[in-house]
A and B are shown apart, each in its own frame.
Chain A
């Protein structure tokens, strides 16, 4: 990010990339939440392979950024922590994907 180039292979858009999303673990979480309506904490933990504490801390960051909504649901007497992408999170993920794709597509072979 220190030296930006111009023209074909311009890496400038990388500097503007959303760093909240760019961390691999958070990118994984957002990708899975993007393709489902909502998922329980445990489900995401299983799918991403993250530990409980790790996933918790990444989710806190995503919630702070307004990208993920965390809701407690009760099924019978059991609480379930359900997670879903907010509209803002969905738009941010779409933009991130677009931007990254553009940068990677523009790179010379």
Chain B
């Protein structure tokens, strides 16, 4: 009885239930995958078209996420509106993510510029954008995980953070130009998401009756 009267835990449990469909995992994984695809494209097309393609892919990911939540999760899990404290936390995470995306885009532009027209410091220059990208990812995902009680995001922060330098190191020291690190990190996230998603579909079939 004491656990059911632990209101903070009850609220957390209610909120965490919104992550058990695995769609956030898949979505975050696909966003990282876009970076890998962007790098692949940048070898053949201009920076502008690479950016356009990445933006289009990001919009597609968002659309798929929204559709999944609306047409798959909501009918199975039901809708819920959380209280003001939780709404404020979600808002904070929204602001953090927007800032993070901005930093990410700046890093991408720098990365593409360095890749196409390597300056003299290029051999070590990648450490700066990779470091900023990594710290940005760890901090933002960490804060997101903390505020949203979405604990898997701690690990995803590290997968994002390591993908950038790992990819450059694979290129520089092993001669692997394919963006393997992005695909590997993104693949782990998507795979985890798919497992959660399948479990969600198994555990929460469409309810048979209407209330």
Of the residues B1, B2, B78, B83, contact of A35 by C-beta under 8 Å: B83
What is the distance, in angstroms, from A72's C-beta to the closest C-beta of chain B?
9
Q: Whole-angstrom distance between the alpha carbons of A28 and B1 in the complex?
A: 10
Q: How far is the CA of A35 from the CA of B210 in the complex (A)?
A: 24
Which residues 68-87 of A sit at the B interface, judged by CB distance below 8 A? 75, 79-82
Q: Are B82 and A42 in contact (CB under 8 A)?
A: no
Residue numbers in B under 8 Å from A82 (CB-CB): 79
With A36-B81, A47-B13 given, can you name 18 additional A-B contacts, CB distance below 8 Å? A31-B10, A32-B14, A35-B83, A36-B82, A39-B78, A39-B81, A40-B78, A43-B80, A46-B17, A46-B77, A46-B204, A47-B17, A52-B207, A52-B208, A56-B211, A100-B5, A101-B5, A104-B2
Chain A minimum-CB-distance residue to B85: A35
> Is the C-beta of B48 less than 8 angstroms from some C-beta in chain A?
no
Residue from B11, B17, B211 with most neighbouring chain A CB atoms (10 Å): B211
Asked whether A35 lies within 8 Å of B4 as measured between CB atoms, the reply is: no
The answer to whether B207 touches A31, judged by C-beta atoms less than 8 angstroms apart, is no
Is B174 at the interface (CB under 8 A from chain A)?
Answer: no
B13 and A43 form a contact (CB under 8 A): no
The contact sample of 5 A-B pairs, CB cut-off 8 A, is A37-B83, A38-B81, A47-B13, A52-B211, A100-B1
Residue of A nearest to B8 (CB): A35
Contact check: which of A37, A44, A79 meets B82 at CB < 8 Å? A37
Q: Is B44 an interface residue (CB 8 A)?
A: no
Q: Which 5 A-B pairs have the closest CB atoms?
A: A43-B78, A42-B78, A40-B78, A35-B11, A41-B211
- Look across to chain A and name the residue whose beta carbon is closest to the beta carbon of B84: A37
User: Does residue B7 face the partner (Cβ distance < 8 Å to A)?
Assistant: yes
Cβ 8 A contact of A97, one of B5, B17, B75: B5
Residues of B contacting A42 in the complex (Cβ-Cβ under 8 angstroms)? 75-78, 207, 211
Is A45 a contact partner of B78 (Cβ separation < 8 A)?
yes
Q: Are B80 and A52 in contact (CB under 8 A)?
A: no
Minimum C-beta distance from A92 to chain B (A): 14
Closest Cβ of chain A to B99, distance in Å, is: 28
User: Given known contacts A31-B10, A46-B204, A52-B207, is B80 in contact with A36 (CB within 8 Å)?
Assistant: yes
